[in-house]
Structure 1
Amino acid sequence: MIDHTKPAAQLKMAAPHGVKVPKDNSDTSVPDSLRPLRDKEFYQAYAQKAGVEGHKEAIDAFRKEISSDGQNAKLKSTAQKALPKIQKHSNMAQTLAQKMGSPQ
């Protein structure tokens, strides 16, 4: 949990006044979609949606900020520092999803 909240807090601190940084866990679509599932179906869907897809979205957002799309040097720097850890988590999530039998 700390691995995910620390980069978000750093982004909020680095963001200039008026720039909105997404809140942690603000998207309820994943938990809502998992609610009716049970047992193996739940774990497979969780590993895929929260693990693989969630980390892919984060990596894409951080890469976009690092690229020429990023307008703020502090945000770019914070994203560059956090990206390797997010990529490591993504690799771990992919491994877990494969073990759970989730489609890739």
Structure 2
Amino acid sequence: MKLPFTAQGVTTFVAGQCGYGVAGFSKKTSYLDLVQKKGLSNLMTIGWDTMTQYFDHVTRSGMTHNMMTLAGHGTTRTSIRGFNATPLNKDEMKEMLTLLEQA
């Protein structure tokens, strides 16, 4: 994540505005492979549960610029239902809101 941003003079960027983010899902989901492939493009292994833990991870990896990130609706929904586009039921919606709040 250090380059090409830093090499181009970028000091701050926002990630996750595409609807997929690095938090807002449960690592216990049966859809974790989908979350990782779609949201993270297999660039890293998910080793965090919260946004704070993610930022600790990127700080340890030597992040050279400021980063803000969003908890994506797509990430959370995929972790609950996979790519099934049907409406969430009440319990799934409650789980989704809980995951986003935890993120």
TM norm. shorter chain > 0.5: no
Say which structure, 1 or 2, has more relative contact order (CA 8 Å, 6+ apart). Answer: 2
| Higher Rg of the two aligned structures | 1
TM-score by length of 1: 0.31
| Bigger helix share | 1
